A = this chain, B = another copy of it.
Amino acid sequence: MDFSSDNVAGAAPQIARVLAEAADGPAPAYGADPWTELLSNRLRDVFEAEVEVFPVLTGTAANALALWQLVPPYGAVFCHEDSHVNTDECGAPEMFTGGAKLVALPGAGAKLRPDTLQPAIRRVGYRKVHRVRPAAVSLTQATECGTVYTPDEIGAVAEVCRRHGLTLHMDGARFANAVASLGCAPADVTWRAGVDVLSLGATKSGAWAAEAVVFLRPGLSADFAERRKRAGHLLSKMRFVSAQLLAWLEDDLWRRHAAHANAMARRLGDGLAALPGVEIPDPVEANMVFPVLPTPLRDGLRAAGFVFHDWPSERDGTVRLVTSFQTRPEDVEEFLNAAREVANAS
């Protein structure tokens, strides 16, 4: 059983069906098709705003292109040191921006906070032409350690951005999980809280490969079409990405997927926390658990066939467990039973 990532899951049957239907007959290429238009309208409803939508294929592309849009080559992006843009995109943001600098900041729960962000912006902005120019902040919702920013926490970061003239980007690879966790409207944790651009990810919760860059304020997306094309991310048969996103949004499938995955993670977390010697430093608010496991437990679970990653952390023994829309309650039970067995034996 594989808890290594929500990327190991397949795709939802609802999405597969819509894709198969979209395969028939001709449609205008490069995004002039009816699916893509529908998607824009649909997302305007979801976000209660005149958003502008650009589907792409990967989260790395969504993030890097969004940052390229916001930041000049001599600009700086402030992000958490554990953020995906900083650690898992092989430098894509640096490449597309023409060499902007990612300023990596610490923060508990993988969150950026005003009291570290503000002095960092001041420090970088200190010597004008000699330093790169503070230009944007990027935060991840849900975060890379499975926590979720509240609207107030986002608002506090946005306030720092406003004060210094920076734009605010949100990496929403697990945006659905955050929204499901908070039980709020998508607008509440995006534009209402001060977010300018969102990388909205569907791949991790049921699509095959579908993300979208969503501009939440008018006037921010000039020339983004050129950037996407130049990056090789303008699909000729765009309908096949837009159709996935439409199916994902249909009947709240996205929220239901996310709520399910979150519940599975919570159950995993609760079960593990009850075992002797196990600690879970951060609250389990989305679809990931980062327990610190005693070595025998970790080894025993792997010997029993469970797959998960060790995770770099200050706490030795930290591992990452990820659930998805495909994780079944019996998978979780099986894992927890095995854990209890190993714990009792040792």
Most B Cβ at <10 Å: residue of A97, A102, A132, A326: A132
Number of identical protomers: 4
Give which listed residue, B5, B133, B233, B326, contacts A58 with CB less than 8 A: B233
Q: Tell me whether A26 and B9 are in contact in the complex, defined as CB-CB below 8 angstroms, given that A90-B131, A232-B233 are known contacts.
A: yes
Evaluate contact between B92 and A95: CB separation under 8 angstroms: no
Give which listed residue, B11, B89, B129, contacts A130 with CB less than 8 A: B89
A 207-259 contacts with B by CB, 8 A: 208-209, 223, 225-227, 229-237, 240-241
A253 to chain B, nearest CB (A): 14
CA distance A102 to B132 in the complex (A): 13
Q: A92-B229, A231-B232 are in contact. List 8 more A-B contacts (CB 8 A).
A: A7-B30, A56-B232, A57-B233, A73-B95, A74-B230, A104-B104, A209-B241, A232-B233
CA distance A59 to B131 in the complex (A): 15
Evaluate contact between A60 and B101: CB separation under 8 angstroms: no
- CB-CB nearest in chain B for A228: B129
Evaluate contact between A208 and B23: CB separation under 8 angstroms: yes
A16 CB within 8 Å of chain B: yes
CA distance A7 to B29 in the complex (A): 6
CA distance A281 to B203 in the complex (A): 47
Residues from chain B with Cβ under 8 Å of A13 in the complex: 20, 23
Q: Tell me whether A129 and B19 are in contact in the complex, defined as CB-CB below 8 angstroms, given that A94-B100, A98-B99, A100-B94 are known contacts.
A: no
- CB-CB nearest in chain B for A235: B209
Q: Mark A56-80, 1 if CB is under 8 A from B, else 0.
A: 1111111011000000111000000
A91 CB within 8 Å of chain B: yes
Residues from chain B with Cβ under 8 Å of A27 in the complex: 8, 10
Evaluate contact between A8 and B20: CB separation under 8 angstroms: no
Q: Tell me whether A326 and B208 are in contact in the complex, defined as CB-CB below 8 angstroms, given that A129-B234, A132-B91 are known contacts.
A: no
CA distance A312 to B126 in the complex (A): 9
Evaluate contact between B230 and A95: CB separation under 8 angstroms: yes
A43 CB within 8 Å of chain B: no
A74 to chain B, nearest CB (A): 4
- CB-CB nearest in chain B for A88: B130
Residues from chain B with Cβ under 8 Å of A30 in the complex: 7, 129
- CB-CB nearest in chain B for A132: B91
Residues from chain B with Cβ under 8 Å of A163 in the complex: none
Evaluate contact between A236 and B7: CB separation under 8 angstroms: yes
